[in-house]
């Protein structure tokens, strides 16, 4: 089924999907940074690291009664190595997500710049169309004069001696009205800021 907007509707859907992906990347990045902070805080707590050695705690529960002795509290190298590897993975993931977010923001800026250029081009086309319509309207007054005086009907003015002056007067009047109307329209549009360059 063809959408009424065609390409524009597809472009709007793509923009919505892009923004959704951008929000997802931003959310994932903030979650990765929160987990990184939690791991950093955990790595600073020796007592918590020592309490994470569940196998040793099960084998020697008497050593893990609070408060912990200094030897037990310092014996957590395996847990610390494991958590540091997790920390490296999360830091790497966070950096990748941050880079993706930066590239997505740059892409969004480029898309917005393209949209602004397209809007300017569309406004220039509308301005040109309006100018051509005004010129066509002014030229149509000439067709009205030609139609009035070019008919084979007897209009009563062509039989008089001053018919030539009457024709010139009507033509100049129409031309003056056309110029005043076109000039007034241009002045009004310029004053209201409708014309774009």
The 8-class DSSP code of residue 3 comes to -
If one counts the domains in the chain, the total is 1
Closest CA to 43 of 75, 99, 87: 87
* Residue 94 CA: distances (Å) to CA of 33, 101, 108, 186: 6, 10, 21, 57
16 domain residue, yes or no: yes
> H or E stretch including 136?
helix 77-150
Rounded Cα gap, residues 5 and 110, in angstroms: 23
pLDDT tens by residue, the chain, 197 residues: 344 555 555 677 888 898 899 999 999 999 999 999 999 998 888 888 888 888 888 888 888 777 877 787 777 788 888 999 999 999 999 999 999 999 999 988 988 888 888 888 888 888 778 878 877 877 787 777 777 666 665 656 666 677 777 777 877 887 788 788 878 877 887 787 766 55
183 domain residue, yes or no: yes
Cα 27 to its chain centre, rounded Å, is: 20
Look at the block and give the residue holding tokens 């919505």. Answer: 16
36 domain residue, yes or no: yes
Q: Which long-range contacts (CB under 8 A, 24 or more apart) does 117-125 make?
A: 120/196, 123/196, 124/196, 124/197
1 domain residue, yes or no: no
2 domain residue, yes or no: no
pTM: 0.57
Look at the block and give the residue holding tokens 């008089």. Answer: 160
Residue 50 contacts residue 44 (beta carbons within 8 Å):
no
- Tell me the residue range of the domain where 11 lies: 7-192
Tokens linked to 36: 């990184």
Rounded Cα gap, residues 84 and 54, in angstroms: 18
Closest CA to 148 of 163, 165, 134, 167: 167
Q: Collect all residues with Cβ–Cβ distance below 8 Å to 179 and sequence separation of at least 6.
A: 138
* pLDDT attached to residue 1: 37
Rounded Cα gap, residues 152 and 68, in angstroms: 119
* pLDDT attached to residue 2: 43
């Amino acid at each position: 089924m063809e959408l009424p907007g065609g390409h524009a509707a597809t472009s709007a859907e793509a923009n919505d999907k892009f923004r959704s992906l951008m929000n997802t990347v931003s959310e994932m990045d903030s979650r990765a940074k929160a987990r990184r902070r939690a791991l950093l805080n955990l790595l600073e707590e020796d007592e918590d690291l020592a309490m994470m050695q569940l196998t040793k705690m099960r084998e020697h529960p008497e050593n893990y009664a609070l408060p912990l002795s200094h030897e037990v509290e310092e014996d957590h190298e395996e847990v610390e190595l494991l958590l540091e590897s997790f920390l490296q993975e999360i830091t790497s993931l966070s950096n990748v997500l941050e880079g993706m977010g930066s590239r997505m923001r740059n892409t969004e800026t480029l898309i917005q710049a393209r949209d602004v250029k397209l809007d300017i081009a569309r406004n220039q086309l509308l301005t040109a169309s309006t100018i051509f319509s005004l010129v066509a309207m002014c030229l149509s007054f000439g067709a009205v004069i030609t139609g009035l005086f070019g008919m084979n009907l007897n209009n009563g003015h062509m039989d008089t001696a001053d018919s030539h002056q009457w024709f010139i007067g009507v033509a100049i009047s129409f031309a003056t009205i056309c110029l005043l109307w076109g000039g007034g329209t241009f002045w009004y549009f310029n004053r209201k800021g409708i014309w774009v360059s």
